Amino acid sequence: MRSILGLRIKNYRILKDISLGSIFTPAMSIGQAAGVQKNAGEVLTPITVVVGRNGYGKSTLCDALGFIVDCLKSNAEQACLLRGGFERIISEGSERIIEFQIQYGRLLYTLCISADKYNIPFVYAETLSHISAEIGAEDSMNFYVKNGIGKVVRPHTNAEDIHLADTRRLVLATLGNLTEFPDIVAFREFLDSWYLCYFSPEAARIPPLVSSQRHLSANGSNLANVIAFWEREHPALLDDLVNQVFSNVLGIRKIETFAAEDGRLLVRFYERGLTKPFYAAQMSDGTLKLIAYLLLLGDPMPPPLICFEEPENGLYHRLLAAFVDEIRKRSAASDKRQSQFFITTHQPYLVDVLKPNEVWILEKGEDAFAKIRRASDDPIVNNMVQEGMPLGALWFSEYLDK
């Protein structure tokens, strides 16, 4: 499965210029297929966990991923308005161009958002290209646009001109629906399938209308509908999940849905040793959250990228190891069931079960903007982990962020 090998974010709030993994530079190569020099860093692992103090950019990093998705699903103006407008998200003192660069397998995607003289956001530039030996070769480009004018390359044909009627919308959103551009379609579907978790226990406690739904919503409000889908389409998988995970982690021996007289869908949970069921309204926030997380991770067709912001909130610390174990199973699964994870955390117990190359540390520079580094870049940290010291304990002892 293709995945994000590298990510660069420029001029997005506190993230004035950070890179994770392997990425080509410079961040924007106008008129070229890709950058001219590759960063020395190793590619991103299937699990990327970001730590750092409050106010150092962890939430901003998650929001930047959401911003890219919102640009695709609506447009640049709406994505900015959801966050208070362009002026609220552009880094102070920057050149007023927000940049994102994603290396996805052998594809390199660059998106630049700016604002016009009326402060209306628009797509300043957008490029999707193959990373090839002939950097800058026209036939390695999928498309390139700047200020609404550019080119698109069909397989085995000459480049065609692009003239956009609406510069607020991504070229990816339009060309990604045309079957004659398979690489563009695949990348659009990849971005469109990202799961950014905004789970709300309150939303999950409200019984939805009776129906079955394949995937969990961002806030978990359709938790009962997803369980109903599993009952109908994947009963054996649901039994396995309950018997092998829910039973061991939460003591739940059975889950079933039923339709109430008013057309609402309820879920009954049965605990080991008890005969009477209990319902979502009676659950703690942490238990309800973990149930939703485990269903998400057990999805037979999971999202290709899942982002959790501080998933430990409300969870008993010893459950975190089981949670990460399920993430590892999903990140190491076969192509069809594999996902990549971006996670932010404040919890050393979660970091304890990670490897140094999976952990990134956000810090704040003298200019008040964020900078980021990988834990595995520190030889002292590597040596101490090899000697058996848990990574979370090193973090607690200030070996990671100082």
With respect to residue 222, please indicate whether it lies within any of the assigned structural domains. Answer: no
**Predicted TM-score of the model (pTM):** 0.90
**Distance between CA atoms of 14 and 58, rounded to whole angstroms?**
10
With respect to residue 166, please indicate whether it lies within any of the assigned structural domains. Answer: yes
**Distance between CA atoms of 374 and 289, rounded to whole angstroms?**
29
**Distance between CA atoms of 183 and 107, rounded to whole angstroms?**
8
**Distance between CA atoms of 230 and 61, rounded to whole angstroms?**
33
Q: CB–CB of 389/82 below 8 Å?
A: no
**Distance between CA atoms of 246 and 239, rounded to whole angstroms?**
10
List strand residue ranges (DSSP E) for 158-275, in order. Answer: 159-163, 195-196, 252-259, 265-271
- Helix, strand, coil content of the chain in percent (nearest 5): 35, 25, 40
Cα-Cα end-to-end distance for the chain = 37
What DSSP element (H or E) covers 222? none
Range of the domain at 183: 4-44+59-192
Confidence (pLDDT) at 40: 53
With respect to residue 153, please indicate whether it lies within any of the assigned structural domains. Answer: yes
Pair of tokens at residue 111: 């998106």
With respect to residue 144, please indicate whether it lies within any of the assigned structural domains. Answer: yes
Confidence (pLDDT) at 270: 94
**How far is residue 330 from each of residues 229, 238, 277, 298, 302, measured CA to CA in Å?**
20, 16, 30, 8, 9
**Distance between CA atoms of 12 and 14, rounded to whole angstroms?**
6
With respect to residue 96, please indicate whether it lies within any of the assigned structural domains. Answer: yes
Confidence (pLDDT) at 209: 96
With respect to residue 28, please indicate whether it lies within any of the assigned structural domains. Answer: yes
How many domains in the chain? Answer: 1
The full DSSP string for 281-294 is: GGS-HHHHHHHHHH
With respect to residue 158, please indicate whether it lies within any of the assigned structural domains. Answer: yes
Looking from the CA of 219 toward its CB, the CA atoms found within 13 Å total 9
**Distance between CA atoms of 391 and 398, rounded to whole angstroms?**
11
**Distance between CA atoms of 337 and 304, rounded to whole angstroms?**
8
Q: CB–CB of 343/360 below 8 Å?
A: no
Q: CB–CB of 210/294 below 8 Å?
A: no
Question: Position of tokens 């067709």?
Answer: 301
Confidence (pLDDT) at 44: 95
Beta bridge partners of 374: 360
Pair of tokens at residue 245: 């995970």
Residues in the chain: 402
- Nearest 5 degrees, angle CA 253-CA 290-CA 47? 125
Give the phi and the psi of residue 108 in degrees, each rounded to 5.
Answer: -125, 120
With respect to residue 157, please indicate whether it lies within any of the assigned structural domains. Answer: yes
For 343, residues 6+ apart whose C-beta sits below 8 A from its C-beta are 47, 48, 49, 50, 307, 308, 309, 311, 327, 350
Q: What is the mean pLDDT of each successive set of 10 residues along the chain, which is 402 residues long?
A: 89 96 60 47 92 94 97 96 96 94 91 94 93 50 88 76 92 84 88 94 94 94 95 93 87 93 94 90 90 90 93 86 87 82 94 93 94 94 91 88 74
Confidence (pLDDT) at 317: 82
**Distance between CA atoms of 139 and 129, rounded to whole angstroms?**
9
**Distance between CA atoms of 198 and 309, rounded to whole angstroms?**
8
